[in-house]
């Protein structure tokens, strides 16, 4: 693994330090302030009228990774980066004595150091720290690739995210935003009286969404278990049990394709709200998005690739209306199954020969409408046949009281008035089982315990799931879901740890 010439050279440096009695992996670091705190605290020195632009009595410890070296005769400059900022360090033989020569020979970019010093302004006007004590905390034996940030290395960046984070500050910033988004989501729902809960990740029956599950084996029970595809059915059991507003920030797993907007392991927030309906969710979701932008100090108009998303421009459109108004499909075609199937085949859209009318509509929507939904758009009145857990509309039993929120041409959220009629739910599960027996691997399983739970009475409830990964993509202008997941799923490959760019 460590046969590379450059790595061997660094290993030798680590051994040299040991021979000199210096531990290259010491564990006695001290920190007075972060690099950014240092820059903020002593910024006044730039405006000082004194010729002595330094504070020799203000001695502080800083730490970080060496990102730049300029080694000279009896004095040198390095730049050290911690999680907050990049800071220039000056050190010389006058203060460090013989250790200065040792550093010059054995210090490398990538090493982690700890420095005691005082602030001063260099001749070029840069606020820096003048080192009077210098500790090498960690010797990095693998050099940082010089071209790691290049587009050609995108696969390497995902596989070796730790290097990506070291080299590319904008990547770290993206994941800081992600963490802030999750924190904001939690505070928002807690402020609305929702209770955060945790439900199982290993399910005896996969449910809550139409998706193909991952299967594992529970040795102690000697039974198969499924990684959850959604927490929905467990959360609704809690509504039956008497909790009236619950949410879970959860990890879901779906054994399906990988592309720019899909990862088999992904994050969502799901929440359920008793004595409310899907119209209440639409209002709540708009409030949530506005709150997020305000908390993150983001403008109402955000760039996303080649388009601009206006969060002051929410709209609502019915499912079939969108096929005509945005998809450009004539209403007579939308209303007729045979004509719709012929239309899809004419446009070379691959469809199964025995697709239901609702699934034909869904294929048309995916192909002709979804990519055009740039500003936040709530698509409502979904066909009941593709909404197995949603309540039927009171006026039209063929549609569900359901919406999906689309932003930037992608689905971000799915919400509906929850089905609470146990007999209706049982029949819909039976329909799903029949679809599975025909070969639909994503159809839902029968969950008799959930039906039994509904039999005890679930109040009118609204429920929704929001994809956190896709939401972060929008807020950070990231075009691939892999850019907002720290360790995305990657196709296995023969590992090559000697990919080191050197001019």
Binding site feature residues:
404, 411
Which residue, among 466, 492, 468, 498, has the nearest Cα to 481 in the 3D structure? 468
Sort strands 86-92 and 265-274 into parallel, antiparallel or unpaired.
unpaired
- Residue 5 gets the label, from left (phi > 0), alpha (psi -120 to 50) or beta, of alpha
> Residue 390: which of 315, 458, 467, 461 has the closest Cα?
461
10 Å Cβ neighbour count for 112? 18
The dihedral over CA atoms of 66, 69, 74, 75, expressed in degrees to the nearest 10, equals -70
Rounded distance between C-alpha atoms, residue 481 and residue 476, angstroms: 11
Nearest to 32 by CA among 94, 91, 93, 82: 82
C-alpha 79/C-alpha 180 separation (Å) is 28
| Residue 185 to residue 472: CA distance in whole angstroms | 12
Extract the annotated binding site for Mg(2+): 404, 411
Q: In angstroms, rounded to a whole number, what is the distance separating the alpha carbons of residues 466 and 182?
A: 11
Phi, psi values for residue 36, rounded to 5°: -65, -40
CB atoms closer than 10 angstroms to residue 97: 10
| 13 phi and psi angles, rounded to 5 deg | -65, -40
CA atoms lying within 13 Å on the CB side of residue 135: 17
Any bridge partners for residue 54, and if so which? 120
């Amino acid at each position: 693994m460590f046969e590379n010439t450059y790595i061997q050279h660094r290993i030798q440096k680590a051994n040299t330090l040991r021979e000199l009695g210096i531990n290259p992996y010491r564990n006695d670091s001290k920190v007075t302030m972060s690099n950014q705190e240092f820059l903020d605290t002593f910024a006044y020195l730039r405006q000082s009228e004194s010729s002595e632009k330094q504070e020799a009595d203000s001695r502080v410890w800083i730490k970080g990774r060496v990102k730049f070296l300029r080694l000279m005769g009896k004095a040198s400059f390095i730049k050290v980066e911690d999680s907050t900022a990049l800071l220039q360090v000056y050190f010389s033989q006058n203060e460090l004595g013989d250790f200065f020569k040792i550093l010059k020979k054995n210090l490398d970019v990538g090493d982690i150091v700890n420095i005691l010093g005082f602030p001063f302004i260099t001749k070029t006007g840069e606020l820096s720290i003048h080192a009077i004590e210098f500790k090498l905390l960690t010797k990095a034996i693998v050099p940082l690739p010089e071209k790691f940030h290049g587009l050609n290395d995108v696969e390497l960046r995902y596989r070796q995210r730790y290097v990506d984070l070291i080299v590319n500050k904008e990547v770290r910033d993206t994941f800081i935003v992600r963490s802030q988004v999750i924190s904001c989501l939690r505070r928002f729902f807690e402020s609305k009286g929702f209770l955060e809960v945790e439900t199982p990740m290993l399910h005896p029956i996969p449910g809550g969404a139409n998706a193909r599950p991952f299967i594992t084996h529970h040795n102690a029970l000697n039974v198969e278990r499924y990684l959850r595809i959604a927490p929905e059915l467990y959360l609704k059991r809690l509504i039956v049990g008497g909790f009236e507003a619950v949410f879970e920030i959860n990890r879901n797993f779906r054994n399906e394709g990988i592309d720019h907007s899909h990862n088999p392991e992904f994050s969502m927030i799901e929440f359920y709200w008793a004595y409310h309906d899907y119209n209440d969710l639409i209002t709540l979701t708009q409030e949530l998005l506005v709150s997020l932008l305000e908390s993150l100090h983001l403008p109402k108009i955000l760039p996303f690739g080649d388009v601009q998303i206006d969060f002051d421009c929410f709209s609502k459109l019915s499912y079939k209306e969108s096929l005509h108004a945005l998809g450009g499909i004539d209403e007579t075609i939308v209303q007729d199954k045979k004509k719709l199937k012929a239309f899809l085949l004419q446009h070379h859209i691959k469809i199964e020969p025995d697709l239901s009318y609702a699934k034909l509509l869904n294929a048309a929507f995916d192909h002709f409408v979804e990519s055009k939904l740039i500003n936040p758009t709530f698509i409502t009145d979904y066909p009941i046949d593709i909404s197995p857990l949603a309540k039927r509309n009171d006026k039209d039993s063929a549609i569900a009281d359901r919406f999906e929120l689309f932003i930037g041409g992608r689905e971000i959220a799915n919400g509906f008035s929850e089905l609470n009629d146990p007999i209706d739910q049982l029949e819909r599960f039976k329909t799903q089982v029949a679809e599975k027996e025909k070969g639909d691997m994503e159809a839902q399983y029968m969950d008799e315990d959930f039906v039994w739970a509904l039999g005890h009475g679930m109040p009118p409830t609204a429920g929704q799931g929001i994809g956190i990964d896709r939401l972060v993509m929008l807020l950070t202008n990231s075009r691939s879901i892999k850019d907002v997941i720290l360790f995305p799923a990657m196709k296995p490959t023969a590992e090559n740890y000697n990919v080191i760019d050197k001019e």
